Copies of this chain bind each other. A is one copy, B any other.
Amino acid sequence: MDQPEWDPYVRECPTRQLLDRIGDRWTVLVIGSLADGPRRFSGISRSVQGVSQKMLTLTLRRLERDGLVTRTAYAEVPPRVEYELTELGRSLREPLKALEMWAKDNMATVLESRTHHDEAMTA
């Protein structure tokens, strides 16, 4: 149980990489897309609008490497590949969902703040 004392406030702490990963443009959305169960590549692609094949592949590979997602390829024609959250991946759902909720709940306020701020600058 004894874990090293990870501290993202320290320079080269690996947790920073982890925060970075979580924070990239697509990770949050992809994990959200897998939240309700396994999904195929094309399904995720449709769900996360605007993601390119390249970035989706890359994101999934990283998630796989980090043990958050499993990849299962079925030997069929045409190919079918399913991605699924691991237990670890599922444990990330809740904090990420909270973030998504916060973004939704406060988007209007933030937008308003930006407008005011920009007007004050111009004036």
Contacts of A20 in B (CB 8 A): 25
**How many interface residues does chain A have, given as a range?**
35 or more
A78 within 8 A of partner (CB): no
> Can you list, as one digit per residue, whether each of A91-119 has a CB less than 8 Å from chain B (1) or not (0)?
11011101111111111111111100110
Residues 1-44 of A at the B interface (beta carbon under 8 Å): 3-4, 6-11, 14-16, 18-20, 22-25, 28-29, 32-33
Closest to A92 in B: B102
Query: Would you call A110 and B47 a contact (CB within 8 A)?
Result: no
- Choice from B14, B104, B109 contacting A88 with Cβ under 8 Å: B109
Contact A19 B88 (CB under 8 A): no
Can you sample 8 A-B contacts with CB below 8 Å? A8-B103, A9-B49, A14-B111, A18-B107, A20-B25, A64-B117, A65-B117, A91-B102
